[in-house]
Each structure stands twice: as C-alpha cells, then as structure tokens.
C-alpha cells in the first residue's frame, strides 16, 4: 500500500507512452504506399486515466517519439497534454508543462519503463516503474507495478493512488451513478 501522505501530495500524473501505455510493440507497414504504424493500447488504462482526471489529477503524456497512433489515443483518452519530444528533452519539457500549471516535480507521480525516463523519475515525488521496465528504472522507482505496460499498468497506478488517498470507494460510486444515468438517458431518448 502506498503511503497516504505521499499519495495526497500528488497533483499531476506523468506517463511515458511506449512501454507504459503500450507493450512497446509497434506494428509498421505500408498502406497505399503510406507508412503507417499501429500500437496496442489497453482499454482499462483509458478508464484509469479518466478516474484520475475525475478527482482533479491532470494526466500528461511524455513520449520520446512522434506518432499519429499516440496522438489518436491521447485524444480519445482526453489526457490534459501530450508532449512528443526528443528523448533527451523529457525532463525540461515535462518541467515546462508543470510550470504552465504552477506545479513542480515534487508535486508529481511519473510512470516510465526505459532509460529516457530516468531524469524525470529521479526527481519526482513518486517515481513508478512498470513490470517490464529495465533494471535501472526499477531501481529508481518507489513502486514497481505488477502489470506490464500495455497490460493495465496505468490502471493499476490509478487504483493505487486513489486507494491510498481514500478516494477509491467514492469514485466507484460516482462512476456507477454516472454510468447508470447515461444508460437511463439512452433508454429515454430511444
Ligand atoms: Mg518508454
């Protein structure tokens, strides 16, 4: 269980993309002579992001490569910001996104899997490694998830944070109430 005081200090969650929101696999091919890439995101992570945002925690994606697949998924998940930057610039670009919100690295959790995430992980309040992270990243992390990237690791992080903050039961009630409102609304408008 995560320390409650630490969990309550968190005001923003940063996520690496490849290897964290995906298993790191990239399907590359040509369609009508256009290079296209596909990635597999996990649907449970989408709800995890939504639950974090519901309790007022912004979610910022920090990717070390530009990818239309990532841009489509980021839009669908309604994350607060997607940074597509050079791997070596993850720390300054993330700090810039925090400054725009009046926050610092001491206010953040960050989830990573590879070496490019280390500069950020070494300075945030709550560094988290996914199960498939490289050894150096696991060593730098306070928490290592049971789930792998692209297999629900971000959902696990969301639940861990919300449980430690004592917000999990409330958020579940809210989620079921809103889902049933949507279902009733849909029935009425049929
Ligand atoms: Mg990665």
Q: Where are the domains of the chain?
A: 4-188
Residue 153 has phi, psi (to 5 degrees) of -65, -40
CA of 115 to the centre of ligand 1 (A): 8
CA of 38 to the centre of ligand 1 (A): 16
CA of 101 to the centre of ligand 1 (A): 24
Mean pLDDT of 63-89: 97
Neighbours of ion ligand 1 (CB under 5 A): 16, 18-19, 113-114
Instruction: Convert 58-96 to b/e letters by CB count within 10 Å (16 or more is b).
Output: bbbbbbbeebebbeebbeebebbbbbbbeeeebbebbbe
Tokens of 136: 């150096």
Q: Does residue 186 register a pLDDT over 70? A: no
Query: What are the CA-CA distances from residue 89 to residues 36, 116, 160 (Å)?
Result: 25, 9, 28
pLDDT at 188: 56
Separation of first and last alpha carbons in the chain:
45
Give the residue, 114 or 35, on which the prediction is more confident.
114
CA of 18 to the centre of ligand 1 (A): 4
Give the residue, 29 or 179, on which the prediction is more confident.
29
Q: What is the pTM of this model?
A: 0.93
CA of 178 to the centre of ligand 1 (A): 33
The pLDDT tens digits for 99-135 are 999 999 999 999 999 999 999 999 999 999 999 999 9
Mean of the per-residue pLDDT values of the chain: 94
Which ranges in 81-145 belong to alpha helices (H)? 90-99, 118-121, 135-140
CA of 165 to the centre of ligand 1 (A): 27
Give the residue, 68 or 184, on which the prediction is more confident.
68
Mean pLDDT of 41-47: 97
Give 65's Cβ-side CA count (13 Å radius): 9
Q: Does residue 179 register a pLDDT over 90? A: no
Mean pLDDT of 169-180: 87
Statement: 4-188 belongs to CATH 2.60.40.10: no
CA of 114 to the centre of ligand 1 (A): 5
The pLDDT tens digits for 85-100 are 999 999 999 999 999 9
CA of 65 to the centre of ligand 1 (A): 9
CA angle 42, 43, 49 (to 5 degrees): 95
Mean pLDDT of 67-73: 96
Tell me which residue of 73, 161, 55 sits closest to 82, measured CA to CA: 73
CA of 141 to the centre of ligand 1 (A): 14
Q: Does residue 56 register a pLDDT over 80? A: yes
**pLDDT-derived band at 183, boundaries 50, 70, 90:** confident
**pLDDT-derived band at 25, boundaries 50, 70, 90:** very high
Q: Distance between CA 136 and CA 129 in Å, rounded?
A: 10
């Amino acid at each position: 269980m995560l320390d409650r005081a630490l969990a309550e200090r968190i005001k923003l969650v940063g996520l690496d993309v490849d290897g964290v929101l995906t298993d790191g696999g990239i399907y590359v091919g040509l369609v009508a002579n256009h290079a296209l890439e596909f990635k597999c995101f996990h649907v449970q992570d989408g709800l995890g992001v939504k639950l974090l945002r519901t309790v007022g925690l912004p979610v910022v994606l920090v990717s070390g490569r530009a990818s239309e697949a990532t841009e489509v998924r980021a839009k669908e998940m309604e994350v607060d910001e997607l940074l597509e930057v050079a791997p070596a610039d993850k720390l300054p670009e993330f700090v810039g996104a925090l400054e725009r919100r009046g926050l610092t690295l001491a206010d953040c959790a960050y989830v990573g899997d590879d070496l490019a995430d280390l500069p950020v992980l070494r300075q945030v309040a709550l560094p988290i490694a996914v199960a498939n992270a490289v050894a150096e990243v696991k060593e730098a992390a306070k928490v290592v998830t049971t789930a792998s990237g692209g297999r629900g690791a971000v959902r696990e992080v969301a639940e861990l944070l919300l449980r430690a903050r004592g917000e999990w039961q409330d958020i579940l009630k809210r989620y079921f109430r809103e889902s049933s409102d949507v279902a009733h609304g849909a029935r009425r408008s049929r």
